[in-house]
Amino acid sequence: MGTNRRYAGAVDAKANERILQTVARDQQLQSLTPVELRLDEVPLTVDPRPRRQVKAWVRFGETPVRVDAVAARWTPDAVGIVFRVDDVEHRCWVWVGAVDEAKRMP
């Protein structure tokens, strides 16, 4: 039996969402530490109305997952993101290399 190429993206998205829901329920969200952030040494930008859509790699426990998020603040090395899993809002800091601009739909 083959794969459904026509809906492969939708199937992958549903599978990723189920994985995200499970790990968010069972494991703790990881964030960069104050030592890693160095907020007393580097400039910090805070967006008063965060709206920059991004895709970011986060870790719940030891499990990495990619999430749709909003960049709320940033330094030269890190990005503070906000995202939701079901009805729960999550916030964490990730390295700037873990974040990509979300592709806009035409």
pLDDT tens digit at each of 106 positions of the chain: 555 565 555 556 677 788 899 999 999 999 999 999 999 999 999 999 999 999 999 999 999 999 999 999 999 999 999 999 998 999 999 999 999 998 764 4
Q: How far apart are CA 80 and CA 71, in angstroms?
A: 6
25: how many CB neighbours lie within 10 A of its CB? 11
Q: What single DSSP character describes residue 35?
A: H
Q: What are phi and psi of 47, to 5 degrees?
A: -80, 120
User: Would you state the pLDDT for residue 17?
Assistant: 82
Q: Taking the chain, what is the end-to-end CA distance rounded to the nearest angstrom?
A: 34
If you search the block for the tokens 């069972």, which residue do you land on?
A: 26
User: Would you state the pLDDT for residue 36?
Assistant: 97
